[in-house]
Structure 1
């Protein structure tokens, strides 16, 4: 677990997700305003289940609860790193926490995890509205992933993060 400061008044901790986080993560995905309107079909039935959390390196950015047991943590965002092939599968920041540096913290943590796992790059297939974000956090555009109807009827930008060795 790591703790970092951010523009939010309380310290933000990034910790490994656990099974009891699954419903909260699913709510963040399904409730994302970035997926309203024509993008809604992409997340309508999406589920981040305990099995997904168990299978992938999934981390949450939280404001810790008063008791310190993790049960009352307020989840601000999360990401999931797939090791083979290396891909940032999910990265979401709760709508109410956007614009406060949470996404940047999650990307920095993901890069650190990727480095620790021995990866030299991480692929990202982005949602169109997130393209600017990935540019700002150092990802390089590598191509376009064609539409995959009916769930994703639009082309998506593909990015890569280079993971330098230290």
Structure 2
């Protein structure tokens, strides 16, 4: 994902004090949004639109890669419903439909850019941890009865 400029308002709030109580409406919204955007298709569509700008449906599908037409339709509709994507229908024959990120969608892309930067910063540590885990798994080959406590 292309690096985006951080949102100054969010950065200012991030540096501020953590509130003593969480608004249950905000907590519910965060859980809802994470559930929707944390799937790979939403993030890949977000990335494709951020990198390529406005795309037609078929172009978007190609940019995302290996996504079914049904899943692409469902995902862009959900993103449109949440205000992340703008769908523009041009009254021509055959119909021409464009998809573009809204300012809200762009700001979400900037937020996920932080995850990208985190991964970029810590990728070597993650690879070492994965290798250590794999190595430990190979050396811990134990009989099934010992693990389950069975005889």
TM-score by length of 2: 0.25
Higher relative contact order (CA 8 A, sep 6+): 2
Structure having the higher Rg: 2
> Greater share of helix residues, 1 or 2?
2
